[in-house]
Amino acid sequence: MLKQTEGSHAVAEAVALCRPEVICAYPISPQTHIVEGLGEMVKAGEIKDCEFINVESEFAAMSVAIGSSAAGARTYTATASQGLLFMVEAVYNAAGLGLPIVMTVANRALGAPINIWNDHSDSMSQRDCGWIQLFAETNQEAVDLHIQGFKLAEELSMPVMVCMDGFILTHAYERVDMPTQEQVDAFLPKFEPRQVLDPAEPLSIGAMVGPEAYTEVRYLAHAKQMQALELIPQLGREFQEAFGRDSGGLIRSYRMDDAEVAVIALGSVLGTIKDTIDEMREQGVKIGVVGICSFRPFPLAEVREALARVRSYVVVEKSLAVGLGGVVASNVRMALAGRLHMRGHTVIAGLGGRAITKVSLHRAFAGVVSGELERVHFLDLDTNAVNAVLEHEKTVRRSGPIAENVLRTMRLVGAKIL
């Protein structure tokens, strides 16, 4: 049913349709509305046979999830930013144990400086933790990816992270087609765990593994992600048959058929990029975009194929590998290994919630087309401000706190409203 609703609420409803049995909740912006919605539904009896547990930290949230999932319950939690970092040890553990937990990450920047706004630093910090990472472009896709996510997780016995842009999606009201319970029930079978803590069949889970077998256990984690490369598109097709919508998959190309320049991005910024590309196309620029939905596993072959005919590309990403450049860009470059004739650019954009505007994208993409853009470009960077701070540090030993120096230079006190 079509409805106009908040992204978080839509995701809460989607998770409810998946019949979760244990939900662990710890509040952190911008994830709060999702778990609040679920808590309300459990209390009101709208989600039957479900335990909603308010825990004392994100570390506990993931740990409770590990326990309940290992005991055979379909388990869900959500987090963001510092919360994801706080649970990191358990995040790796859930993946290592092969527990099919589904978690929403309402993407948000990492401190310091503390910042509650959107970027992808949180999820990207966990790119190698062993979870599948799916990025939603719209709230509709966020809904659909959760439903696919549970099926994917349980078929592979591997946890799935559904990443959606904090605030930009979680707090946005837009049109969402909510599936019915019957549709979801038909798509998502009952959870049949591969391993379960059961007094009838006692087994030990989580034993120490030495050098003689650790590599093999890790290889299997990798092999499963390689299986996911097959399964994700397959589930996308099954989903389309059942729900009539093309959602998920590994990558999605837009106006790439005759493109000479490609943009690569993930998440909600793809919408703004598509609008920008349409305008550039009107001006005769042969440009297209490849949206990455599955960041882990990373679809190397698909990205390589999608970019087979372009002469240059730019990765627009909301994350920064400090001291290197782009996180997504490094992965894309691996997909393009050997293509020496291709010129690649990285645009670091939207950090800490800075709006990514069409105007700025036009400027950056024009630089890609002409080849004049730096290889690693920070979109809308206030170079005067950073240069002034660097100069200040050269002249004064006790130069003071970095963030405060930047703000002073920019004549800002705290965050602007816009």
Q: Is the N-terminal amide bond of 30 cis, ω within 30° of 0?
A: yes
Instruction: Report CA dihedral (165, 166, 172, 178) to the nearest 10 degrees.
Output: 60
User: Which of positions 98-117 make contact with another protein (CB under 8 A)?
Assistant: 116-117
Q: Which residues contact 287 (CB under 8 A, 6 or more apart)?
A: 255, 259, 260, 261, 262, 263, 277, 280, 281, 365, 369
How many residues are there in the chain? 418
What DSSP string describes 362-402? Answer: HHHHHHHHHT-S-SEEETT--HHHHHHHHHHHHH-SS---H
Q: Minimum distance between the CB of residue 256 and another protein, rounded to whole angstroms?
A: 16
Query: Can residue 91 be called a binding residue for another protein (CB under 8 A)?
Result: no
Structure tokens at 371: 């080849």
Q: What's the rounded Cα separation, in Å, for the pair 413 and 136?
A: 34
- Return the residues of window 12-31 that contact another protein according to CB under 8 A: 21-22, 24, 29-30
The footprint of another protein on residues 245-274 (CB under 8 A) is: 268-272, 274
State phi, psi for 346 to the nearest 5 degrees.
-125, 130
Out of 45, 112, 190, 201, name the contact with another protein by CB under 8 A: 201
**Shortest Å distance, C-beta 263 to another protein:** 14
Residue from the set 39, 60, 253, 388 that interacts with another protein by CB under 8 A: 60
Pick the binder of another protein from 36, 39, 40, 67 (CB under 8 A): 67
Minimum separation from the CB atom of position 238 to another protein (A):
24
If you search the block for the tokens 């890609």, which residue do you land on? 368
Smallest gap, in angstroms, from Cβ of residue 59 to another protein?
Answer: 7
Sequence-separated (6 or more) residues with CB below 8 Å from residue 202: none
**Cβ 211 to another protein, closest distance in Å?**
10
Q: Which helix (H) or strand (E) holds 36?
A: helix 32-43
In angstroms, rounded to a whole number, what is the distance separating the alpha carbons of residues 220 and 227?
Answer: 10
Least distance between another protein and beta carbon 193 (Å): 10
Phi, psi of 63 (to 5 degrees): -70, -40
Binding piece for another protein, criterion CB under 8 A, among 230-238, 341-349, 385-393, 410-418: 410-418
Query: Which of residues 93 and 240 has its CB atom nearest to another protein in the complex?
Result: 93
For the segment 146-185, give every residue that binds another protein (CB under 8 A).
Answer: 165, 167-168, 171-175
Q: How far is the CB of 340 from another protein (least distance, A)?
A: 34
Minimum CB distance to another protein smaller for 32 or for 240: 32
Closer CB to another protein, 127 or 274, in the complex: 274
Cα–Cα distance measured from residue 260 to residue 239, given in angstroms and rounded to the nearest whole number: 32
Q: How far is the CB of 234 from another protein (least distance, A)?
A: 27
Among 34, 65, 103, 348, binds another protein (CB under 8 A): 65
* 290 scored as a contact of another protein (CB under 8 A): no
Q: Mask 328-367, x = binds another protein (CB under 8 A)?
A: -------------------------x-xxxx---------
Which value, to the nearest 10 degrees, does the dihedral of the CA atoms of residues 18, 35, 177, 277 take? -120
Judged by CB under 8 A, the residue of 39, 82, 93, 185 near another protein is 93
Site for another protein in 205-244 (CB under 8 A): 205-210, 212-213
How many other β-carbons are positioned within 10 Å of the β-carbon of residue 9?
20
Binding mask 373-392 for another protein (x = CB under 8 A): --------------------
Backbone angles phi, psi at 163, to 5 degrees: -100, 130
Task: Please tell me the distance from the alpha carbon of residue 28 to that of residue 58, in angstroms, as a whole number.
Answer: 9
Total binding residues for another protein by CB under 8 A? 75
Cβ neighbours of residue 276 under 8 Å, at least 6 residues apart? 358, 361, 362, 365
Nearest distance, CB of residue 395 and another protein, angstroms: 35
